[in-house]
């Protein structure tokens, strides 16, 4: 209601009371407006959070899973940052290059060869002009690769028995002599080392479930049930346990171990979700400059408790490359963080942003790119000391700039948003993320363990689950032997055949050092890496 001057009272006290009344009304109105603005800000924050989660879910379901972000490096181009003058003149530049065509790789010389000669008829070896005899001036050769399906054969062992006729006549004790059966990985079983190796590599290297292998054997007229094959694999895993334990001892002697874990569904377990842990050392392929042996060991546990890592590592006090999972804090190891996980948080935040927009998430990713660029440069050094020197000289400055950016951004970004969580993760993990600067043996990330556990994850998509905990433990042993063989450049099939031939001949306390992958290399065929254009 509008108040006119003539409506105002002339009394001073009355004017004061009216003024106080109007001020009180205005205060209540401002309070209501402030409460409304606060509620609106809360709903806006919730809406933004849900929208981020929706975009991230869409990206995970339908987008690319690659974490690379090409084309963003120019955001931190030092030369462009230092330049205050922008050249507006455009220059036309013609770039020419020769496109290299992919070449077909030659077929291995040691493969069996069958030569087929395609010659013209004898009547055609006459010149059409002068009727003179034609002579050979050369030839063209081409190669085709033929596939021969697997062959099954039965090895029938005959053991003649011998007895004394004179003893038979006199009725005295008659001793029968017969050659002993050769030692076997599965006594009284029908499976040879080659068949066992084929079944095991089929499932654990090529992710072929037993029920599919069962149908393959039926094509050859062999009734081999998955239950029988499962029992064979359990016995093979038990026979390989001493080698697994020997590899475990070697792993604990190393200065740096990488670790990771993933879920596993086990039907006959009380928990709905169990876990397969992986621990590895060295590299993914043989390297003569790498003093650390390449070992990959899986460990099945029904929980994700930190005690699982404590029990497996058994007092290991070296460096442990891991992600930010708190369970590893229970170990005695010095934890080294993973920059790939730190970057992944920002990649998720970037994917949650509206399409075509870039912001702080992209800036953080490019900061981390600089650290990886330094690692790439360090890998070109002649030795480990030179590589570590490059890391120590160049990385601290980048890290200092990045941390200052994180601390500043933490005050500007909502903590519950994807970007806020990524920033907080990096700050919380900062001490672990910078451990790699203290020792050249520590990796910048934990990708070694993540790639080591990937074969298990791929296989899990095919065979889906384990039936019992004992079966999961057997799978852990077999996966460990196969992946360790691959990391040392061996063909797992050949390696398993050799193990199944040698282990039955060994006694319980015999030395098995000669069966370790890096010691048996000279007597086994080494696998050849597959190049990207090998099939072109």
Q: Is the pLDDT of residue 197 over 50?
A: yes
> Residue 533: which pLDDT band, with cuts at 50, 70 and 90?
very low
pLDDT at 270: 86
In whole angstroms, what is the distance from residue 435 CA to residue 187 CA? 51
Residue-wise pLDDT for 481-502, tens only, equals 999 999 999 999 999 999 999 9
Task: Compute the average pLDDT of residues 91-102.
Answer: 59
Per-residue confidence (pLDDT) for residue 132, from 0 to 100: 86
Per-residue pLDDT reduced to its tens digit, 204-219: 999 999 999 999 999 8
- Percentage of the chain beyond pLDDT 90 is 49
Average pLDDT over residues 278-291: 83
Chain centroid offset of residue 392 CA = 28
Question: SS3 letters for 43-91?
Answer: HHHHHHHHHHHHHHHHHHHHCCCCCCCCCCHHHHCHHHHHCCCCCCCCC
DSSP-assigned beta bridge partners for residue 259: 279
Quick: pLDDT tens for 363-395. Answer: 999 999 999 999 999 888 888 888 899 999 999
List all residues 6 or more positions away from 23 whose beta carbon is below 8 Å from its beta carbon.
none
| Cα 493 to Cα 517: distance, rounded to the nearest angstrom | 13
Q: Which DSSP category does 171 fall into?
A: T
The pLDDT of residue 407 is: 93
Whether residue 97 is predicted with pLDDT greater than 60 in this model: the reply is no
In tens, the pLDDT along 308-327 reads: 999 999 989 999 999 989 99
Q: How far is CA 91 from CA 81, 83, 88, 130, 435, in A?
A: 21, 18, 10, 67, 47
pLDDT in tens, 5-36: 666 667 777 767 777 777 777 766 666 666 66
Average pLDDT over residues 455-478: 92
Taken in order 464, 468, 472, 478, the sign of the CA dihedral is negative
Q: Residue 394 corresponds to which tokens in the numbers above?
A: 């160049």
Q: Are 213 and 233 in contact (CB under 8 A)?
A: no
Please give the residue that has the higher pLDDT: either 399 or 353. 399
Predicted confidence at residue 54, as pLDDT, reads 65
Give the distance, in angstroms, between the CA of residue 55 and the centroid of all CA atoms in the same chain.
Answer: 26
Q: Is the pLDDT of residue 409 over 70?
A: yes
Average pLDDT of every residue of the chain: 84
């Amino acid at each position: 209601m509008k108040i006119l001057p003539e409506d105002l009272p002339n009394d001073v006290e009355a004017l004061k009371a009216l003024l106080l009344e109007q001020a009180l009304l205005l205060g209540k109105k401002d309070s209501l407006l402030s409460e409304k603005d606060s509620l609106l800000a809360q709903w806006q924050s919730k809406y933004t959070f849900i929208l981020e989660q929706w975009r991230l879910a869409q990206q995970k379901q339908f987008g690319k899973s690659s974490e690379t972000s090409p084309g963003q490096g120019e955001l931190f181009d030092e030369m462009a940052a230092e330049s205050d003058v922008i050249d507006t003149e455009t220059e036309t530049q013609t770039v020419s290059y020769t496109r290299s065509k992919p070449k077909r790789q030659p077929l291995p010389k040691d493969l069996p060869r069958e030569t087929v000669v395609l010659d013209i008829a004898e009547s055609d070896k006459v010149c059409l002009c002068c009727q003179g005899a034609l002579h050979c001036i050369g030839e063209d050769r081409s190669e085709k690769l033929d596939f021969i399906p697997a062959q099954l054969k039965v090895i029938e062992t005959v053991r003649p028995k011998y007895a004394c006729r004179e003893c038979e006549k006199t009725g005295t004790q008659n001793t029968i002599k017969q050659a002993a059966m050769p030692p076997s990985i599965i006594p009284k079983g029908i499976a040879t080392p080659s068949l066992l190796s084929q079944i095991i590599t089929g499932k654990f290297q090529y992710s072929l479930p037993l029920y599919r292998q069962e149908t393959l054997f039926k094509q050859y007229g062999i009734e081999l049930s998955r239950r029988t094959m499962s029992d064979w694999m359990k016995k093979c895993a038990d026979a390989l346990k001493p080698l697994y334990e020997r590899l475990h001892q070697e792993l604990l002697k190393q200065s740096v171990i990488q670790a990771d874990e993933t879920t596993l569904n086990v039907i006959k377990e009380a928990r709905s979700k169990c876990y397969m842990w992986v621990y590895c050392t060295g590299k993914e392929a043989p390297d003569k400059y790498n003093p650390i042996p390449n070992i990959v060991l899986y460990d099945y546990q029904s929980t994700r408790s930190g005690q699982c890592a404590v029990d497996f590592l058994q007092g290991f006090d070296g460096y442990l490359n891991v992600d930010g999972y708190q369970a590893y804090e229970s170990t005695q190891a010095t934890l080294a963080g993973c920059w790939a996980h730190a970057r992944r948080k920002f990649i998720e935040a970037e994917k949650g942003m509206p399409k075509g927009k870039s912001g702080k998430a992209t800036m953080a990713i490019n900061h981390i790119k600089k650290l990886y660029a330094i690692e790439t440069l360090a890998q070109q050094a002649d030795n480990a000391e030179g590589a570590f020197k490059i890391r120590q000289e160049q990385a601290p400055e980048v890290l200092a700039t990045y941390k200052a950016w994180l601390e500043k951004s933490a005050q500007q970004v909502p903590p519950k948003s994807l970007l806020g969580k990524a920033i907080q993760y990096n700050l919380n993990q900062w001490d672990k993320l910078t451990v790699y600067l203290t020792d050249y043996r520590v990796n910048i990330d934990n990708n070694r363990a993540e790639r080591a556990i990937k074969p298990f994850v791929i296989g899990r998509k095919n065979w889906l689950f384990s039936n019992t905990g004992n079966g999961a433990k057997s799978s852990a042993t077999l996966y460990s032997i196969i992946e360790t063989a691959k990391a040392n450049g061996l063909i797992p099939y050949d390696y398993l055949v050799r193990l199944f031939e040698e282990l039955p001949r060994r006694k319980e306390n015999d030395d098995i050092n000669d069966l370790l992958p890096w010691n048996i290399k000279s007597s086994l065929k080494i696998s050849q890496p597959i190049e990207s254009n090998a099939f072109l």
